[in-house]
Amino acid sequence: MQIMKHIVPVVSGKGGVGKSTVAANLAIALANTGAKVALIDADFYGPSVPTLFGGGNIQVDHEQKLIPPEKFGVKYVSLAFFLQNPDDAVIWRGPMFNKALNQLFQDVNWGNVDYCIVDMPPGTGDAQISLCQMTQLSGAVVVTTPQEVALADVRKAISMLGKMDVDVLGIVENMSGFIAPDGTRHDIFGSGGGVALAERLQVPLLAQLPLDPAIREGGDIGVPAITQEGSSISEPFSQLALKILEILDKKSHSGQQTAVVN
- Would residue 143 count as lying in a domain? yes
- Would residue 261 count as lying in a domain? no
- Would residue 259 count as lying in a domain? no
Chain-centre distance for alpha carbon 224: 13
Q: For residue 90, what pLDDT is reported?
A: 64
- Of the two residues 27 and 178, the one the predictor is more confident about is 27
Percent of the chain residues topping a pLDDT of 70: 92
Pairing mode, strands 178-179 and 185-186: antiparallel
- Of the two residues 103 and 29, the one the predictor is more confident about is 29
Q: For residue 141, what pLDDT is reported?
A: 96
Query: Which DSSP category does 81 fall into?
Result: G
- Would residue 193 count as lying in a domain? yes
- Of the two residues 209 and 94, the one the predictor is more confident about is 209
Q: In Å, what is the CA distance from 261 to each residue of 102, 117, 160, 176?
A: 9, 14, 24, 36
Q: In Å, what is the CA distance from 125 to each residue of 10, 79, 128, 135, 239?
A: 15, 18, 6, 16, 31
- How far is Cα 215 from Cα 186, in angstroms, rounded to an integer? 17
In this prediction, residues 231-259 reach a mean pLDDT of: 85
- How far is Cα 25 from Cα 39, in angstroms, rounded to an integer? 10
- Would residue 260 count as lying in a domain? no
Which CATH number characterizes residue 202's domain?
Answer: 3.40.50.300
In this prediction, residues 101-125 reach a mean pLDDT of: 90
- Would residue 262 count as lying in a domain? no
Residue 12's domain spans which residues?
3-254
- Would residue 230 count as lying in a domain? yes
**168-181 exposure pattern, b = at least 16 Cβ within 10 A, e = fewer:** bbbbbbbbbbeeee
Give the pLDDT band (50/70/90) at residue 4. Answer: very high
In the chain, how many domains are there? 1
Give the pLDDT band (50/70/90) at residue 119. Answer: very high
In this prediction, residues 24-50 reach a mean pLDDT of: 94
Q: For residue 127, what pLDDT is reported?
A: 77
| Digit-coded pLDDT (tens) for 42-98 | 988 888 999 999 998 888 888 888 999 999 999 999 988 887 666 666 655 667 778
- Would residue 134 count as lying in a domain? yes
On the question of pLDDT at 7 being above 90, the answer is: yes
Q: In Å, what is the CA distance from 252 to each residue of 35, 114, 247, 257?
A: 15, 12, 9, 7
Pairing mode, strands 59-60 and 205-208: unpaired
